[in-house]
Structure 1
Amino acid sequence: MRQKSMNNLIQKATDLLQGRGRLLFLTRFGSDLYGTRVEGISDTDVRGIFLPMDVPASLEEACMQKGVHSSTSVSDQKNGPQDEDMDLLPLERWLCQMLPLGNTGALDLLFAPTNPSCTLYCHEGMREVFDNAKTFLNLANGTGCLAYCQGQGKSYGMAGTRLGVLYRALRILERVDGRKRLEEVAEEIVAEIATPQYCKLAEDRGLVLAEQWHMGRTRVDEVLPRLKKTLQPNIERIELAREDRDIDWKAMSHAVRAIRQQEELLSTGTLRYPLACREEILRIKKGECTFAEVEELVRSGLASLEEMRKVSAFVTSPDFERIFAEAKRVRKLCQGQA
């Protein structure tokens, strides 16, 4: 039965690539790869790499290659256990753009063969990539992981996100005497929120909150209505999250997972699947933690990663021209020309 299912998925991928390219690698992905599948809840994710028919002449062309996506789910609805998603990434874009930018899903694919039970198909030429994974890593830049983690919790006003900063500023200012001028409290607010990307001191000792300027001479009771208006479409959801209600725990588990993966990469230079942290991820996925607990795991985890990056022996910056040259060599291997 398993062999039949494998063959069906390989055939589906091959059909999707008809006239577009050749399949190089295919694996069960997501919860199957991580070891976090929950029966009756988890959907089926399949991802792969393909060799596009059109050969990119430059690094810029490689970065413009298009992937292939297929899904059985209804576009505006959350995936259910019966749903199946398949994503196939073009070889050169995966190697030359997605991996150097630290794309979380691209990293998963690079180390997916460490869980051979999930591998559905692997062209021999791909061994050159998987055996030399460090060539394609960029651990010097954590923006990919940061954006991914914050993206999972931004609608709940998670710490470090734009909405999170605005919500915290609102709650802090509500405790302040409304007759005070912003210049009297702005420095303390900046220190307490500690997110310079979205909260910093203005030149006149006012506040710049998520690109909104609030002058230092402005009274606190004048700033509050502005913040409330900005937050109005989201504030109910933000406050429900703080009561552990109406939360997508799967999304929150993804944020913590991405941090744990970066920790492993910075400590060992590699990733292994299924995840060593899968029990922790499963607890979050099942809603067995509070929002506050997960928010703190993400906040402290992201801060820890920046410290790890300073001392890790595995931090290297990508050489894009070398990576493009390697991608061309892999293409030849997969075409049987070398």
Structure 2
Amino acid sequence: MKKRIVMALGGNALGSGLAGQMKAVQSTAQTIAALVAEGHQLVITHGNGPQVGMIHQAFEAAATTYAHSPVLPMSVCVALSQGYIGYDLQNALREALLDAGITKNVVSLITQVRVEAQDPAFNHPDKPIGSFLPDEEAAKLRKTGVLLMEDAGRGWRRVVASPKPQEIIESQSVKTLLEAGQIVITVGGGGIPVIATDNRLHGANAVVDKDWASAVLAKEIDADMLIILTAVEKVAINYNQPDERWLDTLSPQQARRYIAEHQFAPGSMLPKVEAAVSFAESKPGRQALITLLSKAGEGIAGRTGTLIQQ
């Protein structure tokens, strides 16, 4: 059965650094092209954690030189990351489609996501961005007032606020392009966070979780399936413990029980499961799938991954 799918690419689908990204998107594009060949309507979303941190740090460093470049607000850094990730991804996907004998337009859409100014996340920044930092460098940055947190035992990273997405401003444009037979790359990095004041949108100093934003988009364009791609084939409970168990299916009720038991790591699997549940229970028949990029096709066919549905 052909589906309208929102596919949220994880960091492993994009690589890190310019050279790594260009290499990673080539293999990513092959997988996406195979799904297009099966007749599915696809909207591609993606993260930007390493990239947006790199952009922000570059402009911070430039501000200390004779050039006196401005330090860009986070909303502008997200916009820049959308542009250059989308550029690489849409060209790689165009090439993969043509190699497969498929002629389809691929477009990257600069996307804004409305957040609430009163969101409590602004008082508790906890979203890691940028590269991992060793203890010594992290200590120096903390002395300058930079907010950092230890990220899953891999090192220190900068943190910014991550308010919940309320609305995808350009969702109707996404739907129109999709219905015209085009493949849309959108909600890059979770989208540019904006706050609405009357008719004006202005950028917020934050980043939006791309899985939550993808779930909101999937609802607004009436998708059949949300696929959240990550570094494991399935969701597990008792992860990395002797009684570890990989899950084929999850109901929203089961997921909430496991969340209450703290089975899923914050900043890692937890937001993916929460976002998947939010979409799956938003309308009868909607499904969310969490799996590896390389297993996406098998997951859609019901042969692997963790399927979340009512």
TM normalised by structure 2 equals 0.24
- Please state which structure has a larger fraction of its residues in helix: 1
Determine which structure has more spread, i.e. the larger CA radius of gyration: 1
- Please state which structure has a larger fraction of its residues in strand: 2
